[in-house]
Amino acid sequence: MIGPAAKYAIAVFCLAAITSCSSVSVRDYAGNRPLLVVEEFFNGRLSAQGIVKDRGGRVIRYFTASIDAYWQDGVGTLDERFEFDDGEQQTRVWKLRSVGAGKYSATAGDVVGNGRMEVAGNSVFLDYVLQIPYGDGTIDVRIDDRMYLVSERVLLNESIMTKWGFEVGRISLVISRE
């Protein structure tokens, strides 16, 4: 039988464990430098190299990408052209629109609804649902992109892919300004 003092200690421990596991916010990086200005970094020609991992952490694909980025009338366009190690090619064209105070709406042809993008310090977090080809159709996968500007010309990107709350894969890439 557990006494009242032990029950209290267990409750305090559980509460501390739960609150210490809070998620990381892009605002946690507000003081970091170099400062990431979306309209400046994503403007011009960029290139990317990356890997895709399955849910077990095994690398299953490699890719390169070229990105043509520009802004017109307050709308950013990122025209991404991917080539995978098996020869598959993909295109994704993002449209970025400021919705105020370091926040953007992000849309693309294979993105369900509007992605939410937020910038602070040297970081940008982008959350969206991507339609991925699967069998004769597609499946919707949530993507949690976290990007960090490590120099004026290099951005590191980590993405976690989830379905029904379970991790199904990860993407890691480096984006470089040319």
pLDDT tens-place string over residues 47-82: 999 999 999 999 999 999 999 999 999 999 999 999
Q: Can you name the residues that pair with 92 across neighbouring β-strands? A: 80
Model confidence, pTM: 0.85
Per-residue pLDDT at 133: 87
Dihedral pair phi/psi, residue 10, rounded to 5°: -65, -40
At 114-170, the pLDDT tens digits run 999 999 999 999 999 999 988 999 999 999 999 999 999 999 999 999 999 999 999
Whether residue 34 has a cis bond before it, omega within 30° of 0? yes
Domains in the chain, CATH or no CATH each: 27-177 (2.40.128.20)
pLDDT at 9: 45
Query: On the CB side of 115, how many CA atoms lie within 13 Å of its CA?
Result: 25
What the block records as the tokens of 111 is 């993105």
